[in-house]
């Protein structure tokens, strides 16, 4: 991007960096001799410039991510993928919004990939975004995902692209329960991608015997496998975190649905680590529990100075 457009981009970003009152008509104007109408016209010209697209606008964010990764002491970097609904109703045209679940749930579907420091969980920068409207995907990628593509299928392309960003260390892709899919686990493992996914209860092999993940959690608790990690807050209340982990094998067929027909597919047994994180109150009562599956080496996700993710 030429220098003049870079300067305008920086000015627009800075104008969005302060918190405006709820009744404000727009972002805060920086001190300048130009009038508000002139600044609005300049912003309009910037956003409508054919040389300014989302792939160009994300470049400084990715550069900031690369610099932060170089400065971090963690052996890996976390790339968190998540989805959210954006709805500006009734200020936008219904024709532009898409149906998300049922007929009354309409809006925009935003996919965000956020770099985080694995040392302490500090967010670094969003490095990939896709916004689905009724009939298009506005994306920071030169090759946007298809408008009808399911969420979990968007991940693999971002995994492949992240290897070209020069992050200087392995990337662990952190994904919520929507990506709890054995078929995708097998694909990502075969492609050499590291992942950490929140999972539902499922049957696995544990110590050579079939068991439900919920049953394994009970056994880990009975065996005293949980260790104290760090002090945390849960919904504003002081609490503490305990973590246990063990190796499990996902051995069952995975399922796909094509044309409304579900099919089973066999695949190689997948050896993963089951990580169980518990949040306890001061009296020892369990406030929350998460079960996660990962293929990342244990050393890569170890705690750092008592403040780490685990």
Give DSSP secondary structure letters for 161-189. Answer: HHTTS--SS-EEEEE-GGG--HHHHHHHH
Rounded percentage of the chain residues whose pLDDT exceeds 90: 53
Q: Examine the domain organization and report whether 146 and 252 are in the same domain.
A: no
User: Domain of 118: which CATH number?
Assistant: 3.90.350.10
pLDDT for 206 equals: 97
Q: Examine the domain organization and report whether 197 and 235 are in the same domain.
A: yes
User: Domain range holding 73?
Assistant: 54-171
Q: Examine the domain organization and report whether 45 and 81 are in the same domain.
A: no
Average pLDDT along the chain: 86
Please say if the pLDDT value at position 295 is more than 50: yes
Count of domains for the chain: 3
Q: Please, how many CA atoms are within 13 Å of residue 33, restricted to the half-sphere of its CB?
A: 0
CA 13 to chain centre: 23
Q: Examine the domain organization and report whether 277 and 194 are in the same domain.
A: yes
Please say if the pLDDT value at position 158 is more than 90: yes
pLDDT for 309 equals: 43
pLDDT tier, 184 (very low <50, low <70, confident <90, very high otherwise): very high
Q: Examine the domain organization and report whether 142 and 198 are in the same domain.
A: no
Q: Examine the domain organization and report whether 61 and 141 are in the same domain.
A: yes
Q: Examine the domain organization and report whether 160 and 255 are in the same domain.
A: no
CA 57 to chain centre: 20
287: left (phi over 0), alpha (psi -120 to 50) or beta: alpha
Distance, in Å, from the CA atom of 307 to the CA atom of 100, rounded to the nearest integer, reads 38
Q: Examine the domain organization and report whether 206 and 310 are in the same domain.
A: yes
Distance, in Å, from the CA atom of 39 to the CA atom of 32, rounded to the nearest integer, reads 9
DSSP letter string, 240-287: EEEEEEEEEEE-SPEEEEETTEEEEE----EEEEEEEEEEE-TTS-EE
Q: Name the residue with tokens 């054919």.
A: 50
Least confident of 43-47, 142-146, 171-175, 183-187: 43-47
Residue pLDDT, tens place only, 251-289: 999 888 777 788 888 889 999 999 999 999 988 899 999
pTM here is: 0.85
Q: Examine the domain organization and report whether 219 and 250 are in the same domain.
A: yes
Distance, in Å, from the CA atom of 77 to the CA atom of 94, rounded to the nearest integer, reads 39
Q: Examine the domain organization and report whether 90 and 13 are in the same domain.
A: no
Q: Examine the domain organization and report whether 191 and 300 are in the same domain.
A: yes
Last residue of a domain, one of 52, 73, 94: 52
| pLDDT, mean of residues 159-168 | 92
């Amino acid at each position: 991007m030429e220098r003049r457009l870079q300067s305008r981009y920086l000015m627009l970003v800075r104008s969005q960096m302060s918190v405006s009152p709820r009744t404000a008509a727009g972002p805060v104007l920086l001190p300048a001799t130009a009038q508000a109408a002139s600044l609005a016209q300049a912003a309009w010209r910037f956003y409508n410039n054919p040389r300014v697209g989302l792939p160009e606008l994300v470049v400084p964010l990715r550069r900031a991510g690369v610099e932060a990764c170089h400065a971090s002491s963690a052996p890996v970097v976390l790339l968190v993928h998540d989805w959210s609904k954006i709805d500006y109703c009734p200020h936008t045209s219904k024709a532009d919004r898409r149906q998300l679940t049922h007929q009354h749930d309409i809006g925009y579907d935003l996919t965000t990939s956020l770099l985080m420091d694995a040392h302490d969980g500090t967010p670094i920068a969003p490095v990939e975004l896709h916004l689905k409207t009724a009939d298009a995907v506005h994306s920071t990628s030169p090759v946007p995902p298809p408008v009808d593509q399911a969420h979990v299928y968007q991940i693999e392309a971002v995994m492949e692209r992240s290897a070209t960003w020069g992050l200087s260390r392995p990337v662990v892709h952190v994904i919520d329960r929507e990506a709890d899919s054995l078929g995708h686990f097998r694909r990502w493992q075969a492609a050499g991608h590291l992942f950490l996914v929140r999972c539902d209860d499922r049957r696995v092999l544990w110590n050579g015997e079939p068991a439900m993940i919920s049953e394994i959690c009970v056994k880990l608790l009975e065996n005293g496998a949980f260790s104290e990690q760090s002090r945390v807050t849960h919904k504003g209340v002081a609490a503490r975190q305990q973590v246990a982990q063990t190796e499990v094998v996902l051995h069952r067929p995975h399922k796909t649905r094509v044309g409304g027909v579900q099919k089973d597919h066999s695949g190689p047994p997948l050896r993963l680590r089951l990580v169980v994180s518990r949040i306890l109150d001061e009296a020892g009562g369990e406030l929350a529990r998460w079960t996660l599956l990962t293929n990342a080496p244990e050393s890569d996700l170890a705690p750092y100075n008592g403040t780490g993710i685990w």
